[in-house]
Amino acid sequence: MLIHLTSASLEEDPRLADYTSMTDVHLRKSLEVERGLYMAESTNVIIRALEAGHHPRSLIMAPRWLPDLEPLLERFLGAKDGGEVPVFIAPEPILESITGFHLHRGALASMQRPVLPSVADLLSSLGDGPKRILILENLVDHTNVGAAFRSAAALGADAVLVTPECADPLYRRSVRVSMGTVFQVPWTRLEDWPANDDLHAAGYSLAALALSDDSVSLDEFVTMPVMTAEDSRVALVMGTEGDGLRKSTLSRTDYVVRIPMMGGVDSLNVAAASAVALWATRLPRA
């Protein structure tokens, strides 16, 4: 249903509360989880979310974007006006008053947050055969989380696991930087880390990317039996932007791997390191 707004007041419709305080990162991180929602920004990201089967609570946009989005609403929601889903239409100054920023990527959608599977269920759903998954330990930068998901999608990772203290992959900035690929790569949150019983039970070897005296070069690692076996299953573990992986994590992994560096540089940004490691360890895809 189309709802034309004449002001930024929540008295017009309480459902607008989903879109307020969007520039307050700390507040939104808690509110979105508490309310069971996440934000999808831009037409392309909304399409990816809907294609993944996620359900919108509402959408909000300026009038000029409605003609472009009507086919999308009809395709996924059954009607050009969104059917039973509220579609808020407002002039851009009112939109900016509500959200706190200039909405210049088409539309913004408040999406129902999906229920995450358990780690065991996710790994089981991946099926048989060799696998490559990515583990993100305690990343605090949503941009890096989104970039890592984009690399995972582009380079064929089978899944991503995030640790309990890792930034939310469904936070608006993560989703935007991932270009919506967070919706297409299977993922869930680890409840107990660095314990990895589910991973080992599913046949995975854990390879931590870190600078260590006992590390092996990535060039060497890709030639080892753990990588070349027909049933090879490897989880690449990436650490925080500043401190890297915790010692307790390194003590529980099967391998420590370093990316060969030149030019006097000792390490890469975690998102860049994820891309390099996923490319080097990629599996052939049909």
Give dist(CA 72, CA 45) in Å, integer: 12
Band the pLDDT of 220: cuts 50, 70, 90.
very high
**3-class secondary structure, 111:** strand
Residue 21 has pLDDT above 60, yes or no: yes
Mean pLDDT computed over every residue of the chain: 91
Band the pLDDT of 198: cuts 50, 70, 90.
very high
Band the pLDDT of 25: cuts 50, 70, 90.
confident
Phi/psi class of residue 36: alpha, beta or left (left: φ > 0; alpha: ψ in -120 to 50)?
Answer: left
Lowest mean pLDDT among 194-208, 235-249, 268-282: 235-249
> Residue for token digits 């002039």?
91
Q: How far is CA 13 from the centre of its chain?
A: 30
Residue 106 has pLDDT above 80, yes or no: no
pLDDT at residue 274, rounded to an integer: 96
Band the pLDDT of 98: cuts 50, 70, 90.
confident
Residue 230 has pLDDT above 90, yes or no: yes
Q: How far is CA 43 from the centre of its chain?
A: 17
Whole-number percent of the chain with pLDDT over 90: 68
Check: CB of residue 278 under 8 Å from CB of residue 238: no
pLDDT at residue 10, rounded to an integer: 78
Mean pLDDT of 46-69: 92
Residue 285 has pLDDT above 70, yes or no: no
The model's pLDDT over 164-182, given as tens digits with 9 standing for 90+, comes to: 999 999 998 899 999 999 9
Which structural domains are found in the chain, ordered by start? 2-112 (3.30.1330.30), 119-280 (3.40.1280.10)
Check: CB of residue 173 under 8 Å from CB of residue 270: no
Cis upstream peptide for 63 (omega within 30°) = no
Give dist(CA 171, CA 125) in Å, integer: 25
pLDDT at residue 286, rounded to an integer: 54
Residue 123 has pLDDT above 90, yes or no: yes
Mean pLDDT of 233-253: 89
pLDDT at residue 137, rounded to an integer: 96
Mean pLDDT of 61-84: 92
Band the pLDDT of 22: cuts 50, 70, 90.
confident
Band the pLDDT of 237: cuts 50, 70, 90.
very high
Lowest mean pLDDT among 17-26, 124-133, 159-168: 17-26
Band the pLDDT of 6: cuts 50, 70, 90.
confident
pLDDT at residue 8, rounded to an integer: 81
Residue 16 has pLDDT above 60, yes or no: yes
Mean pLDDT of 115-134: 96
Mean pLDDT of 115-132: 95
Give dist(CA 217, CA 224) in Å, integer: 11
pLDDT at residue 271, rounded to an integer: 93
